[in-house]
Chains A and B, each alone.
Chain A
């Protein structure tokens, strides 16, 4: 264990050292800056050196190490204290040291853009950050969420007095993440914006700088996170949506008890994220027919929800397409041309200065809006599908004999371990073995 701490400290120290070295500055003769008649002493202009490519590989190596360590601590050591320590280290490295970028959550957009834009190449580190947590999740469950993700770590640290969220509300709020993921994909695919990065509530904290509104948003998440465990991860995180589905398929997974569940119910309320599922009772015979009818009805409703979602979202394309700068510019130019506004903006003046034809701009904006119409169908259908599947899943009976961590919802934080008496027996046995 001490060796492990030494390794972590060495990695952090090396990273800090690299930052100091890469911060060397170079002067060059450039346009003079504006002169204001004040006593302010202008610093000499400097150009920071670009970050060395080597550090991309270091980031990836740290990510692999953290994922491996997290998986080991969660599945083998079952040690909440060490998981917590790793969480803090990840927050320091990926959050405050690397300023929250590159992160797997934002990397979704890079990957999507690379699919839809042949001119965009995904950097190796970004691809690795996107794929590695997915691979680890396929084998070990959501160990990335457990102790590697800086956003999750941030929320984990502020959790003060967790309250339980009713399952119906939990289920409904989770739909937000699907909508968010769909929007992020749509905006990235159309080259409009990296939506996830723009609204990342915690990056402003990591950088100790940012838009005031985003800082307020981050503060609100942290305030809510004091009582509702990891609200961003559970209800908003688009990467969490993918991890949830992969985690269902994971080869190994977190178990509350190290061996057999004795149904002591001690762990029942131990999860602040509502991820512990209770044993199920037998299906009451009287409700069987009614539940079966409801299931059939919901399955018939599924395509209706998809079509309705697609139609509504596609119809909203005039609004959603405004996220694209070209559409906004075309609308502004149209307003100026039609006399709806009398002044000009910097963007419209700059466009006019280029000498490009307005008709070409309108054509370009029309094409983009067309993409949003089409993308809106996919987005709406996706959200409708997810909403329908959620309704269907609530109508399905599952046979569960023990208390279990839900494969999809469990973020592998390890809080439940210490509530299990079997875990205490295991620890005592281990101690005896060592002695």
Chain B
């Protein structure tokens, strides 16, 4: 009798275990998120929150905004440059607009297409980078030449003119810097990956690829994916580089920063970052000096974020220029205004 009871009890227990296992198994399958719609399930400690690093210590800020922002009137402004007289040239939509140093508009050069970048030579001539070709204008705004088209893959992002009159064109699409004479004859290419010459090549995830000729005769080129600025001789030899990745204020973060830079009279660098928008000063050796403006000073509203989607990463980079009096001009490509910053502290 007892054995029969024990057998019955065992059967009941086994049946219950099986029933529970079936119910739990079905529940596990039904609750399985195969499409990822419930997210990663990770806690808040894993959220990529950069609000903290977006707050700039006021003690680090060396500049303040001098004027009301200069309204460019463009729907899409792309580049800013300053001539030796302090006149401000802004390229956008399908023209270049010229402003006095106080922000008064006094001229416009109509273009055949959308300008992406521009450079002003010492003789007053203007080099305008369209998407895949360079156009050359004289000081009287007359077009002198349109250089050969570089093909569908080309995305011209920056132009610089050396004291010798050589023109350097940064092609983000082909990840290379092209060296021309003033007539548009190609003299060479700089920065193509070459392990024999110890040249790593440019990493350019978004169409930002700035360059400038420094007083020391070396061409400074941003390698945005590597978060650094590299120095090349006009012949294309890589001399040195500076810059490092970092969320902290002295580093460059995101997929590709800095997006643009300018060189101050003393050889220091003004860098512009997108995503976590920051304009900062580095000395000629690349050591962090201070901040011109953080997200707050650049008019950022809403939550800060590092670009996550292609649309975010491909746009929103500000341009920067320096005028003869040392003011820093930041072209806000979101609001299409130029913000002018003047120095308020000599050093930190």
Instruction: Flag A209-224 by CB within 8 Å of B: 1 or 0 each.
Output: 0010110110011011
Q: Range of interface residues on chain B? A: 20 to 34
Q: In the complex, which residues 168-190 of chain A have their Cβ closer than 8 Å to any Cβ of chain B?
A: none
Q: Is the CB of A227 within 8 A of B14?
A: yes
Q: Whole-angstrom distance from the CB of B48 to the nearest CB of chain A?
A: 7
Q: Is the CB of B28 within 8 A of A213?
A: yes
Query: Interface range on chain A: under 10, 10 to 19, 20 to 34, or 35 or more?
Result: 20 to 34
A198 close to B (CB within 8 Å): yes
As a 0/1 sequence over residues 2 to 34 of chain B, the CB contacts with chain A under 8 angstroms (1 = contact) are 000000000100100110011011001101101
Instruction: Name the contact of A35 in the complex, choosing from B11, B28, B246, B311 (C-beta under 8 A).
Output: B246
B310 engages A220 (CB within 8 Å): no
Determine if A213 and B247 form an interchain contact, defined as CB atoms under 8 angstroms apart.
no
The answer to whether A214 and B32 touch (CB under 8 A), given A220-B24, A224-B18, A227-B14, is yes
Tell me if B180 is interfacial: C-beta within 8 Å of chain A. no
- Given B11, B203, B247, which contacts A34 in the complex, CB threshold below 8 Å? B247
- The residue that A31 contacts in the complex, of B32, B255, B309, with Cβ under 8 A, is B255
CA distance A233 to B311 in the complex (A): 49
Q: How far is the CA of A144 from the CA of B22 in the complex (A)?
A: 27
B310 proximity list for chain A (CB < 8 A): 350, 353-354
A193 touches B245 (CB 8 A): no
- Residue A163 CB within 8 A of the other chain: yes
Q: Given contacts A163-B14, A227-B18, is CB(A216)–CB(B28) below 8 Å? A: yes
Interface: A228 (CB within 8 A): yes
Closest partner residue, chain A, to B32 (CB atom)? A213
**From A345, which residue of chain B is reached at the shortest CB distance?**
B37
A190 to B21: give the CA distance in the assembly, Å: 32
Given contact pairs A37-B248, A353-B310, A216 touches B14 in the complex (Cβ within 8 A): no
Nearest A residue (CB) for B17: A223
Residues of B near A221 (CB, < 8 A) are 21, 25
Instruction: Convert A31-56 into 0s and 1s, putting 1 for each residue whose CB lies closer than 8 angstroms to a CB of B.
Output: 11011110000000000000000000
A213→B31 contact, CB < 8 A: yes
Q: How far apart are the CA atoms of A36 and B50 in the complex, in Å?
A: 10
The distance in angstroms between the C-alpha atoms of A117 and B107, with both chains bound, is 61
The interface centre, meaning the residue of B31, B35, B246, B309 with most chain A CB atoms within 10 A of its CB, is B35
Which residues of A have CB within 8 Å of B11?
163
Question: In the complex the two chains form, is A32's CB within 8 Å of B245's CB?
Answer: yes
| A29 beta carbon closer than 8 Å to chain B | yes
Q: Which of A313-342 contact B (CB under 8 A)?
A: 323, 325, 328
Residue of B nearest to A211 (CB): B32
**Contacts A/B (CB < 8 Å), 11 sampled:** A31-B225, A31-B255, A34-B253, A35-B246, A35-B247, A35-B248, A163-B14, A213-B31, A214-B28, A214-B32, A227-B14
Q: Which residues of B contact A (CB under 8 A)?
A: 11, 14, 17-18, 21-22, 24-25, 28-29, 31-32, 34-35, 37, 48, 200, 203, 225-227, 245-248, 251, 253, 255, 309-311
Given contact pairs A199-B32, A217-B29, enumerate 7 new A-B contacts (beta carbons under 8 Å): A31-B203, A35-B251, A161-B14, A163-B14, A223-B17, A325-B35, A345-B37
